[in-house]
Chain A
């Protein structure tokens, strides 16, 4: 008897404080409860991938656009008696080309240094017909590659513009667009979460009309009644989102590592999180809870006002 009484007192206390899961004042409703948790978990799972996509494409865009700011080269191959004239012509031409910051003749020593990894240090450079290389650095908005090629063809037929890094430009903009898509997906996921939680709250408010009536009769104010629903749905959204985030993180962590796939697979396997990226993951359940809090609070207070 005494024992039973003590247990009951503790239960009453927990009831008053509002236990961790939800207020006992509103009866638990098994079906919508599980549905809310499940929906929050699914949304969080998707959010993990959207986040991974955004971060990975962001990284890719940054790396590629760095390469873009690099240099291009002009290679001049011509019969020995013409090469000096053509080189001078190209350098002159570059001086008058808008968008060229710097044009620098790469010396023989430098060329030797570039080649030695492949051919060894004892390469008899002097006996080889090496092309002349001019490194150009872009300035401002960059130069017009097509125009430059046309002028080169006219003035120095042996000169070839090699702007190898330029092909990446469309890829960079594609990566940026993908990143934007990732963030947009996350916004949509947040909005959908808010929608689902709002619908679930409305259903719960309707199902508990009698409970709300009784609470009103004994002097409960709107904020108290709304609070009972808000705490419950916020907790559910948090629990579900936590589970979904953990699951999504595990799946992303199990994706093949970038290095094993080589450079070619970089885009597909670069989806993983690196370093501090992982710190962003706990934000997902927290944001889910925040979204649920805002959605349930607005819905409950509006419904209570309507049903006065």
Chain B
């Protein structure tokens, strides 16, 4: 699906990630951990073509990201659902409209997904908030709305950047359960988090690989997880 080969990336002069390789095979479940500022978000941005690697090769569904046009990247993104760390909603649209936006933007008739939209909003527990505007939501509600938007296109890959960043433990577990459910449906999942409890909890439900960014390298996490 998505593969990084010997990728080096840095903002400005110094490298933040050096010689990183990662393969997100179909149906796999990955955790990406590491201290704040280690480069988790940066790595995720490389995975959906927002950042282009300076060295090495990032391939999105078999295509070299560096040689893809903007429109080709856009098409690839329809197959990758991303839960951004800062959610990235259009604040003048309702929750339902935001969640449906990837479908609208892809040119598919959105009345066809009206049913899916209802189900999806029910699934993430936001049916009552469908007509609210994003700024009116709590942190957890925003994260769940972001997850709903990330999966509405039935993407093959889901990348979640700190999806439990600003929500309580109970809600984090609920969100984790949703992602595990998606993985059971065959989706490739990658979750960036520094919440080790969440990872321990997940390992009870799913065979997850845990990776850690340290010293600009990507390592398999220790046995403590």
Contact = CB atoms under 8 A, between A and B. Distances in A.
Interface stretch (A118-126, A214-222, A238-246): A214-222
Interface string B76-106: 0110001010001110111011001110111
A308 B50 CA distance: 10
Interface stretch (B107-115, B135-143, B190-198): B107-115
Interface stretch (A8-16, A100-108, A173-181, A290-298): A8-16
B110 A16 contact: yes
B70 A219 contact: no
A12 B100 contact: yes
Given A217-B84, A308-B70, A15 B90 contact: no
A25 B96 contact: no
A211 interface: yes
Nearest to B97: A15
Contacts of B84: 217
B71 interface: yes
A24 interface: yes
A60 B75 CA distance: 61
A217 B71 contact: no
Contacts, number: 79
A219 B78 contact: yes
A16 B109 contact: yes
B18 interface: no
B149 A218 contact: yes
Nearest to B109: A16
Interface string B40-84: 000000001010000000000000000000110011011000101
B90 A219 contact: no
Interface string B173-217: 000000000000000000000000000000000000000000000
A13 B102 CA distance: 14
Contacts of B90: 25, 27, 211, 214
B92 A8 contact: no
A161 B151 CA distance: 94
Contacts of B93: 15, 24-25
11 contacts: A9-B111, A12-B96, A13-B111, A25-B104, A217-B77, A217-B84, A218-B102, A218-B149, A219-B105, A220-B74, A305-B70
Nearest 3 interchain pairs by C-beta: A16-B110, A219-B77, A219-B78
Interface of A: 4, 8-9, 12-13, 15-16, 24-25, 27, 211, 213-224, 304-305, 308
Given A12-B117, A15-B97, A305-B70, 12 more contacts: A8-B94, A12-B100, A24-B92, A24-B93, A214-B88, A216-B77, A219-B74, A219-B106, A220-B105, A221-B71, A222-B71, A223-B71
